[in-house]
Amino acid sequence: MDKVLVIVGDATETVDTLYPYFRLQEAGFQPVVAAPEKRRYNMVLHEIGPNWDITREFEGYKIDADIAFRDVVPEEYLGIFFSGGRAPEYIRYDEDLVAMTRHFFDANKPVGCVCHGVEIPAYAGCVKGRRMATVPKCQFDLEVCGGIFVDSGCVVDGNLVSGRTFHDHGQYMGHWIRLLIEAREEQLVQAVAG
């Protein structure tokens, strides 16, 4: 079971999505892009530019979803990654996404999260008492749902690894990939023993 979900929707942040997607491939995992529907999605680029105090948004690449949320069987996946951008603001209300999010937390599988991605596990009720990094403007979303905001490029809390923005990918992504590798090795041991 080497498949790992990458959660997206329209206005998913390009770097937040493509960096983990290719890192998963590099580590020998199969990234599976999941979204509200199986179709092509528009990604965006987010940056706070000179003389701006809010995020500027530019059109990014497009990405094809391999599977719709309703068709995901969470037990078939080793881990999950919640990408940033504006997508989490609207996809977090999808009941199938909420159910699969809870599965990964309840089963203690590796969970990666960056930027606005926190809005999904927060809405799903999975962050209570958990330490997480996120973009500072999502601190409220995390804390109002019982999470603990940590302003750091990498926060590891058990099976949960998080970063603030795409600028932190180099700090937290390796930790999440290591959790996936350990989970894969554990499954191999169980398969041989079982």
Q: How far apart are CA 137 and CA 15, in angstroms?
A: 19
Q: Which of 108, 176, 105 is nearest to 147 (CA)?
A: 105
Mean pLDDT of 39-63: 82
- Is 32 in contact with 3 (CB distance < 8 Å)? yes
Report which secondary-structure segment, H or E, holds 69: none
pTM of the model: 0.95
| Residue 155 in this model has a pLDDT that exceeds 80 | yes
Instruction: Tell me which of 187 and 48 has the higher pLDDT.
Output: 187
In percent, the amount of the chain with pLDDT more than 90 equals 85
Interatomic CA distance for residues 139 and 148, integer angstroms: 8
For residue 1, pLDDT over 70 is answered with no
Query: Per-residue pLDDT averaged across 144-167, rounded?
Result: 97
Q: What's the mean per-residue pLDDT of the chain?
A: 94
Is the alpha carbon torsion for 47, 58, 177, 91 positive or negative? Answer: positive
Q: What is the mean pLDDT of residues 123-139?
A: 96
Query: Domain range for residue 115?
Result: 3-193
In tens, the pLDDT along 61-81 reads 899 999 999 999 999 999 999
Q: How many domains does the chain divide into?
A: 1
pLDDT of residue 124 exceeding 80: yes
Least confident window among 7-16, 47-56, 73-82, 135-144: 47-56
DSSP assignment of 24-41: HHHTT-EEEEEESSSSEE
- Tokens 């962050």 sit on residue: 127
**CB-based contacts of 180: which residues, under 8 Å, 6+ apart?**
4, 24, 27, 29, 78, 79, 110
The CATH number of the domain where 149 resides is what? 3.40.50.880
pLDDT for position 46 = 76
Q: Report, as residue numbers or ranges, the catalytic residues.
A: 115-116
CB atoms within 10 A of CB 173: 21
Q: What is the pLDDT of residue 183?
A: 96
d(CA 20, CA 192): 29
Question: Strands across the sheet with 40-47, in order?
Answer: 12-13, 40-47, 56-64
